[in-house]
Structure 1
C-alpha cells in the first residue's frame, strides 16, 4: 500500500515528534508499505536524515516550508501538499498528525488521524472537528487511553464513529541488543550512574533531578538532551560536581548512553509542557524515552501519574514516586543503588513487556485500518 504520512513538524529536528514520525514511517516500511513523509524543512543540521534518526529503511521524505502568518501559512502549505500529492500520484492512504493537510486532502484517499493532545484553541478545534466529520476518515489514533477518554467526553463528533475505529496506541521502542558500545561518561567510574534522556522543558522534572544530586552526592547524574537555551538555563542553576549535561544528540547516537546508565529517571510533573510551553500534556503523555528505557532493560524510576500507570506497574517493571517528592525519589534511587538484583529484575521485566507489547512494528499494524493494512504495496 502507498502511504502518505502528513506531518506538521520539521524533519530533521531536535524534537520528539520528529523521532516518533520517523519511527512510524520506518515501521510502515518494514510492514511492506511504500511510504512518503511530507514534513516541514529541517531545523537541525543533518547531511543524511536517515542516518541522523537511525532508520532501517530509506523511505522518501519531501519537505515544504510554511509561508506567511500562522493560520494562513498552515492552510497555504496544506494546499501545496495537496497539489503535490495530485501531481505525483494519489496514495492509497493518508496518515498523520497534520490536521490542516489531512483536511485539505481528505477527498483524495482514506485517512487516519493521529493525535497526542486535546487542544483548547478554537481555531484548531474547528479544523479538527471538520476533519472528524469527513466521510473518508477511517480511524482516529490516540497516544494514551486517558487521551481517548477525554476526547470522547469533549468531542461530540466521535460519537458518530464506531468504537472499532478509535484506537489507543502508546508510543513504542524497538528491542535492542544488550551488548554494544558504551559511552565513556565523565565523573567517578565506580559511582552509580543515574541517567535522564529527553527535553528540559517545564514540568519534565529537571529541578527534581538537580535536587536529587544535592541529596545524593555519591551518585553521578547525566542529562542527555535539551535545546541549547534550555540546557544553558539549567546548567547555570546546577553547581553540583556530580551533574553532567550532555546536550542534544542525534537519535542514532543515544544507544551508548542508555547502555552506560545503571538507573534511569522519568520525573514528569503534574503539569508538563511541549516545546515553547505550548500544550499541557501531563494528563495524556506517552513518553518515548520511557519505552526506550524499557527496551534497554534499564531499572526505571518514574512519576506516579495515572497515564503512566497505563504501562507501568510499581515494583513490577519500575518504581513509581510522587512526582514532586524529592524525598520519595531519593529513597527510590538509594533502594535501587543498593540492590543490583532488584535493578536487574525490574529491567528484565520492562524489557520483556516492551518486546511483547510496545514495538513500533506492532504499532504500525495496530493503527492501520484492517482491510488497508492487509493490502500489498500499491493496492487498496
Structure 2
C-alpha cells in the first residue's frame, strides 16, 4: 500500500521554466500543472534548474526534491501553494562541455527520470518529445502536448504504445497535422487553453486605481492589450489603430525590454502619444484589476500561418474579466463569434477596421464596474481546472493518479 501511494504523482515536465518576461509557453506549462494540483492531485512541476552553474555533486546524487514554490514564483505565475515544484540541478559539466553524456536531455531522460523520478510517478504530461519517448521506454503513462504544426513523422512504436495515452493540441489544423505525420486519430484531440481562477474575482478599487494612473490628458476610455509583443500578434496593427483614436488611451503589457523599447521608438516615430507600454506586470495577479479597469480589451492578430494555431491564454482571461472585447477574426477563435461573449469582431491586418471596431464596441457596451455577466458566465467552462479534468478524462482510469486532497 505504501509503494502504491508513493507512485501517485502527476509530473508535468517542462524544459523552459524561468522567471523572465516573454514566456507564454512557460506560463502554459506552469498553469497546467497548477490546475491539476487545484483539482486534488499530487502535481509536481519538474524542470531543469539552469541557475546552477557550479559543480554540486550532492545535488546530482539526490536531484528530485519537490517543494512549495517560493513567493517570487507564486507572484510571477499566479499559482497556489498546492502545486509542488522540483527544479533538477543542471550543474557543471551539464551543457557546459560537449558530448552526449553531458547533454541536459540525456541526463534528464537517462538518469534523472528512470533512477530518481520514475518511482514516484503515476502519469507524465509534457511538451518535450524526448521526455515522452523516455517515459514510454520506462513504461510510464504519458500525455503529450503539441502546439505547432508537425514537421516529421512520429515513431510508430511510441504513438502506438498503450502507455501513450493522448496528444493534446490547440486547434483542429494542428490536430490534422499530427495525424498526417502518424499520430493515431483516436489519440489526438484539440482543446482550448484556459484562465486562472483569480480572473473571476472582482477588484473594483484596484481597477479604479489603474484608471486614475492611466487615463491622462482628459481621455475617458481605456483600451488594454496583454500578451507577447511579437509582430504576428498584431501589436503594430493595434498601435496604428491607436493613432486613429487619439482621444482614447491604449495600454500594452508584456514583452521583453528590447521589444518594449522597439515599440516605444515606433510610437515616437509615428507621433503616437496615446499608447503606454507597461512592460511585465508583477505580481501577475495585478492583471485581474487591469483588465477590469479597461473599457475594451483588445485581441489583435496578424493573418497567416501563425493565426491558424494560436489559442491565446489572454483570450480566456479577457473573457473571465467580463470586459467587452475587440477580437480579430482568426480561425481558432471563430467558434466564439456566435457565442454570448460581449465583443466586436474585425478582419485581420487592418488598423482602420480595428479602430472602427473599438469605437463601435465603446458605443454599444459602456463599461460596467461589475463586468458583463454574459461573458463571465460563458467563461466558467474555460478555467484551467476544467481543462485539466477534461484531459485526464482521456487517460485510462488505471493510469490516473488517485486524488489526494
Asked if these proteins are the same fold (TM beyond 0.5), I'd say yes
Q: Which moved more, 1:283-292 or 1:47-56?
A: 47-56
Q: CA deviation at 1:47?
A: 5.8
Structure-2 change in CA distance of 1:315 and 1:139 (3 Å): closer
Match for residue 157 of structure 1 among 170, 183, 187: 183
Q: What's 2:168 paired with? A: 141
Structure-2 change in CA distance of 1:232 and 1:376 (3 Å): same
Q: Distance in 1 between matches of 2:166 and 2:246?
A: 50
Q: CA deviation at 1:187?
A: 3.6
Q: What's 1:67 paired with? A: 95
Match for residue 24 of structure 2 among 2, 5, 16: 16
Q: Secondary structure at the match of 1:286?
A: coil
Structure-2 change in CA distance of 1:102 and 1:373 (3 Å): closer
Q: Superposed, which structure 2 residues align to 1:67-216 within 5 Å? A: 67=95, 76-85=104-113, 86-88=115-117, 89-108=119-138, 109-120=140-151, 125=152, 131-152=158-179, 154-159=180-185, 163=186, 165-175=187-197, 176-180=200-204, 181-182=206-207, 183=210, 184-188=212-216, 190-216=219-245
**Unaligned stretches of 5+ in structure 2?**
1-7, 52-69
Structure-2 change in CA distance of 1:60 and 1:128 (3 Å): farther
Q: Secondary structure at the match of 2:40?
A: coil
Asked if 1:303 corresponds to 2:328, the answer is yes
Structure-2 change in CA distance of 1:340 and 1:80 (3 Å): closer
TM-score by length of 1: 0.84
Contact 1:75/1:100 (8 A) holds in 2: no
Structure-2 change in CA distance of 1:128 and 1:255 (3 Å): farther
Contact 2:326/2:361 (8 A) holds in 1: no
Q: Over aligned residues, Cα RMSD in angstroms?
A: 2.9
Contact 2:223/2:250 (8 A) holds in 1: yes
Asked if 1:254 corresponds to 2:287, the answer is yes
Contact 1:172/1:363 (8 A) holds in 2: yes
Q: What's 2:264 paired with? A: 235
Q: What's 2:277 paired with? A: 245
How many residue pairs were aligned? 358
Contact 1:41/1:63 (8 A) holds in 2: yes
Asked if 1:265 corresponds to 2:304, the answer is no
Q: Distance in 2 between matches of 1:22 and 1:106?
A: 23
Q: What's 2:77 paired with? A: 53
Contact 2:343/2:361 (8 A) holds in 1: no
Q: What's 2:64 paired with? A: none
Q: CA deviation at 1:79?
A: 3.8
Q: CA deviation at 1:208?
A: 1.0
**Unaligned stretches of 5+ in structure 1?**
272-279
Structure with the greater alpha carbon radius of gyration: 2
Structure-2 change in CA distance of 1:129 and 1:327 (3 Å): farther
Q: Secondary structure at the match of 1:230?
A: helix
